[in-house]
Amino acid sequence: MEKNIVFALILTTLAGLSTTLGSLLGLFVRKPGSRFMSATLGFSAGVMVMISFVELLPRSIESIGFAHAHFGFFFGIIIIFLIDFFLPHQWAGHHDLSDDQKETKLLRMGLLVALGIGIHNFPEGMATFVGTLQDTKLGIAIAVAIAIHNIPEGLAVSAPVYVATKSRGKAFLWSFLSGVAEPVGAGITAVFLLSFLTPTLMGWLVTFVAGIMVFIAFDELIPTSHSYGQEHSAILGVIFGMAIMSLSLWMLR
């Protein structure tokens, strides 16, 4: 169990800090093409949806029963919806800012985006941690899906901060801090929940996490993938992500 905990924390940290890759893209690399961004975000959404409905929710039903599992699933959706409602992070549209907007507005937006993404990343850290404790290979799949969609989030934080401050260091720092929330979420789960982690509680956590992941896919990843104007790339990414996840789950059985 101890080895699994350490591995789960490492996976969560890597997934969370993938925001720094997006930050580096924003600072040193030419902006990725819209087709690539649309397809990768769609792929991440497809992976998350397939994991949630085919793996996490069925496991929870087996553990705590159909009614309780679905209650926990929709409770997870409600919680992440409330977080999104009170602390929105509509980061995809920042590319549309006009050149004459003040640098202070760009900086404020970048910092607010970093705060919003950080708070959204907190439950994602719980998702990776709990999934890894359930099954190491499942945790790896969740971490990869989260890492993929964290990369453009890191880009969203670093770009406006860099334009406003002309400081690569500050842009990278804020992107880094937004990703740190993910291992913090895993750490809090490990410290406060691990001693109480019975099969029943695990069943509740798994279905709660499934709800969070489905909401992130439907509310954030899929709409953002379409915002790049590449509808076919977005849906093909979703389908390909679901197909790859289905194949990997079948191979792991």
Written as six digits, the tokens of 8 are: 């789960």
Least confident of 122-131, 135-144, 215-224, 244-253: 244-253
Q: Confidence band (pLDDT; 50, 70, 90) for 88?
A: low
Q: What percent of the chain has pLDDT over 70?
A: 78
The full 3-state SS of the chain, as one line of letters, equals CHHHHHHHHHHHHHHHCCHHHHHHHHHHCCCCCHHHHHHHHHHHHHHHHHHHHHHHHHHHHHHHCHHHHHHHHHHHHHHHHHHHHHCCCCCHHHHHCCCCCCHHHHHHHHHHHHHHHHHHHHHHHHHHHHHHHHCHHHHHHHHHHHHHHHHHHHHHHHHHHHHHHCCHHHHHHHHHHHHHHHHHHHHHHHHHHHHHCCHHHHHHHHHHHHHHHHHHHHHHHHHHHHHCCCHHHHHHHHHHHHHHHHHHHHHHC
Q: At residue 71, what are phi and psi to the nearest 5 degrees? A: -60, -45
pTM of the complete model: 0.65
Residue 97: per-residue pLDDT: 43
pLDDT at 92: 46
Higher-confidence position of 170 and 152: 170
**Given this model, what pLDDT does residue 32 score?**
58
Burial class (CB in 10 A: 0-12, 13-18, 19+), 244: middle
State yes or no: pLDDT of 89 exceeds 60: no
pLDDT of residue 93: 45
CB-based contact 221:30 (threshold 8 Å): no
Query: In the numeric block, which tokens belong to residue 208?
Result: 């709660």
pLDDT digits (tens, 9 = 90+) for 157-182: 776 677 667 788 888 888 888 888 88
| Percent of residues, the chain, with pLDDT higher than 90 | 10
Query: Which of 17-26, 82-91, 244-253 shows the highest mean pLDDT?
Result: 17-26
Could you tell me the residue range of the domain that residue 193 belongs to?
Answer: 2-252
The number of folded domains in the chain is 1
